[in-house]
Amino acid sequence: MTETVAVAMVTALSTLFAAGLTGAVTLRLQRRQAAAERLRIREEARRMAYANLLSASTDAWLAIDEVWKLRPPGSNEPRQPEIGEALSALKLLDQALHVATLYGPPSIDQAAAALYNSADEEYWNIVRVLMANEGEQRGATQLCEPAQLPNPELRLATRAVFTAAARAALGATD
């Protein structure tokens, strides 16, 4: 009888040990999977934030290009809708900037801010030109200083700097 009890005891302890070991391994695997899923979700949120920032910068510059085509309104003329549309595009760019810097590491902050700052500066340059030349028949591009004209190369360079910083933050390799 004692042998039977001993065998039963060893079997019970072996079963408990195996169940505990299985539970511990399962728990560890679940934690790893949860951590990997959190990392995947964070990286996807970053990708989306960066893509939205780039898209918003394109939209802002397209809207700003429309403002460049305007001539200054007369004193009795209403404000052109393109000015409001460009300002709205800048607000969306500002929101996208905040989301990107929230999700991204500090290493992208400066490059992301440069996207917004360059568009914002260009917008306000045009607005100042239009306001200073009320009723003028020439367009904004003809009234501004050469240094104020849109610079597509600078826009692309600013985007390229941000894209490189975003890729580095995402761990992308070429």
Reported as a single tens digit per residue, the pLDDT across 143-157 is: 888 888 889 999 999
Indicate yes or no: pTM above 0.85: no
Reported as a single tens digit per residue, the pLDDT across 42-52 is: 889 999 999 99
CA neighbours within 13 Å on the CB side: how many for 147?
A: 1
Reported as a single tens digit per residue, the pLDDT across 113-133 is: 999 999 999 999 999 999 888
If phi > 0 it is left, if psi is from -120 to 50 it is alpha, else beta; for residue 65 that is alpha
CB contact set of 72 (below 8 Å; sequence gap of 6+):
129, 130, 131, 132, 133, 134, 135, 136, 140, 143
Task: List the structure tokens of 36.
Answer: 């990997």
Query: Average per-residue pLDDT in the chain?
Result: 88
The closest alpha carbon to 120, from 98, 89, 81, 145, belongs to 89
Domains by residue range for the chain, with CATH:
44-170 (1.20.120)
How far is residue 161's CA from residue 57's CA, in Å, rounded to a whole number?
Answer: 13
